[in-house]
Amino acid sequence: MKSPLDKIRPEVRGLSQYTLEQYRYEIKINQNENPFDIPVHLKDQVMELARDRSWARYPDFVPRDFQQKLAHYVRWDPEGILVGNGSNELIRSVLMVSIEKGSRVVIPVPTFTLYKLMSTLFGADVIEVKLNTDYTFNTEALREAAEDADLLILSSPNNPTGCVITDENLRLLLQNTDALVLVDEAYCEFSGTSCLPLLKSYKNLIILRTFSKAFSLAGLRVGYLIADPLLTREIAKAKLPYDLNFFSQMAAMKVLENIMIIKERIKYIIAQREILYETLQQIPGVTPYPSHANFILFETILDAKYLFSKLLEHGVLVRDVSSYPMLAKALRVTVGKEEENKRFVRALTDIMSL
Ligand SMILES: Cc1ncc(COP(=O)(O)O)c(C=O)c1O
C-alpha cells in the first residue's frame, strides 16, 4: 500500500510547521503580548453579558454591532471591515481569494514567518526581498519586485525588526504595482503611525489589525481587516461562518468602549521601550535596533542559542529569532512591565559579563 502521505502536496511536506516550543519561565517576554491583562471589573461586565445571552444560539451571521464600533474607531465604512478569529485567520482569507499556483507574493525578509508559510501552502512563488543591513525596508527593491507581483505583504512595524514603512514609501509601492498590498498593522498602536489615510486613494490597499497586542486580548483571538468594500466582499467569501464567537466579540467591544485604559497602557509600553533600548545600548557586546513596536530586536557577541538558554536559566523567556534570514546573532524581547524589563536587563548584564 502506498503511503497516505503521498496524497499530501509536496510543497506542504517541504514546509516546517509554524510552532512554538513550551518552556518553563518566570518572566514571559517572548510573544509580543501585552503585559497587562484586562481589568477585572471589565472582565466581570463581559461575563455578565455572556451569561445572559443564550449559548445555544449562533453568533450573528454578520457581526454588525462590532463592525459598527470598529468603523467608528477607524473612521471607515463598516462594509469595508471584516472581523476574524485573530488576524492570522484574515491573512489566510486574503491569500485564499487571491493566490493560486504560480502567483507571485512579495515579502520582505526577515518578517513574520506566517506570510511565507501560508503563501507557499497556496502554491505561490514567494519572492523574498532582504531588508537593508540596518533592518529597515529596502523600498526600491520592494518596488521593483512588486511591479509584476500579485500580492505584496508588509508588516509595519515589522516583526521581528520593528521598522516601519513611511507613508511616502508606501505610496511609491502602491503607485507602481497592480498587486494587492496587504499591510499588517499588528503593532501600529505602538508606532503612532498607520496607513489608514491612504485607503481612500489606493483601492489595492488592505490593512490588517489585531486585538492581540495593544488591546490585551491575545487569548480571545480577535482581528480585523480594513479595505475597500469591493475587496472585503470578496475576501469575506473565504471566511468560515461564525468564525468569531460571541464572547470574544463582547470582550473586544468592551475594550473599545474603554479605549482610554488601553491608550494609557500603550503610552507606558512606549516609554518602557525607550528606556529598555537605551539600557541595552549601554551593555557591552549588545546591539539593540530601534523599534516602533512593543518588542526590541538585539544582537550580541554571544551565540544566540546559548544566550537564549542562559536567559531561560535566569527564568527569562525571550524569542530566539536566530534561525530567521539575516538574524543569526539576534534575539527578540517583548517590552514588559518595568520590573520585568529590569529583571531581563539584570540577567542579560550578568550573562554578558561572564
Ligand atoms: C505581524 C503579525 N501579524 C499578526 C500576528 C498575529 O495576530 P493574531 O493574534 O491577531 O492572529 C502577529 C503575532 O505575533 C504578528 O507578529
The mean pLDDT value for 128-139 works out to: 97
Q: Give the burial class of 298: count Cβ atoms within 10 A of its Cβ; 0-12 exposed, 13-18 middle, 19 or more buried.
A: buried
87 CB near ligand 1 (under 6 Å):
yes
212 CB near ligand 1 (under 6 Å):
yes
Q: How far is the CA of 204 from the centre of ligand 1 (A)?
A: 21
112 CB near ligand 1 (under 6 Å):
yes
Q: Out of 3.20.20.80, 3.40.50.300, 3.40.640.10, 1.10.10.10, which CATH number does the structure's domain 40-258 have? A: 3.40.640.10
How far are the Cα atoms of 58, 207, 272 from residue 136, in angstroms, in the given order?
Answer: 45, 20, 22
184 CB near ligand 1 (under 6 Å):
yes
Count the residues in the chain. Answer: 354
97: phi then psi, degrees, rounded to nearest 5: -90, -10
For the stretch 304-318, pLDDT in tens is 999 999 999 999 999
8 Å CB contact between 79 and 225: no
> Is pLDDT at 254 greater than 90 in this prediction?
yes
Longest dimension (CA), the chain: 63
Instruction: Please report, rounded to a whole number, the percentage of residues in the chain having pLDDT higher than 90.
Output: 94
Q: List the one residue out of 142, 143, 100, 108 whose CA is nearest residue 125.
A: 100
The mean pLDDT value for 204-218 works out to: 98
Testing ligand 1's pocket by substitution, the residue of 34, 95, 114 carrying the most ligand atoms inside 8 A of its CB is 114
Residues 6+ apart with CB under 8 A from 73: 256, 259
CA angle 307, 341, 28 (to 5 degrees): 65
Q: How far is the CA of 312 from the centre of ligand 1 (A)?
A: 24
189 CB near ligand 1 (under 6 Å):
no
Q: Which ligand 1 atom is the nearest neighbour of the CA of 31?
A: 14
- Three cell numbers at 59? 453568533
**Separation of first and last alpha carbons in the chain:** 57
Radius of gyration of the chain (CA): 21
8 Å CB contact between 151 and 182: yes
Closest residue to atom 7 of ligand 1, CA basis: 87
Could you tell me how far CA 40 lies from the centroid of its own chain? Answer: 26
Q: Which ligand 1 atom is the nearest neighbour of the CA of 158?
A: 1
More confident residue, 77 or 11: 77
Testing ligand 1's pocket by substitution, the residue of 159, 182, 295, 333 carrying the most ligand atoms inside 8 A of its CB is 159
The pLDDT of residue 351: 98
**pTM check: above 0.85:** yes
The domain limits of the chain are 4-38+260-352, 40-258
8 Å CB contact between 280 and 97: no
How far are the Cα atoms of 23, 34, 68, 337 from residue 187, in angstroms, in the given order?
Answer: 25, 11, 22, 17
185 CB near ligand 1 (under 6 Å):
no
Q: How confident is the model at residue 21 (pLDDT cuts 50, 70, 90)?
A: confident
293 CB near ligand 1 (under 6 Å):
no
The mean pLDDT value for 130-144 works out to: 97
Closest residue to atom 16 of ligand 1, CA basis: 159
The mean pLDDT value for 146-175 works out to: 97
Q: How far is the CA of 247 from the centre of ligand 1 (A)?
A: 20
118: phi then psi, degrees, rounded to nearest 5: -70, -40
Which CATH superfamily hosts domain 4-38+260-352?
Answer: Aspartate Aminotransferase, domain 1 (3.90.1150.10)
Q: Rounded mean pLDDT of the chain?
A: 97
223 CB near ligand 1 (under 6 Å):
yes
How far are the Cα atoms of 146, 314, 319, 322, 329 from residue 309, in angstroms, in the given order?
Answer: 39, 9, 11, 13, 14
Give the residues across from 271 on adjacent strands.
none
Q: How confident is the model at residue 12 (pLDDT cuts 50, 70, 90)?
A: confident
Give the residues across from 130 on adjacent strands.
109
32 CB near ligand 1 (under 6 Å):
yes
215 CB near ligand 1 (under 6 Å):
no
Helix (H) and strand (E) counts for the chain? Answer: 12, 13
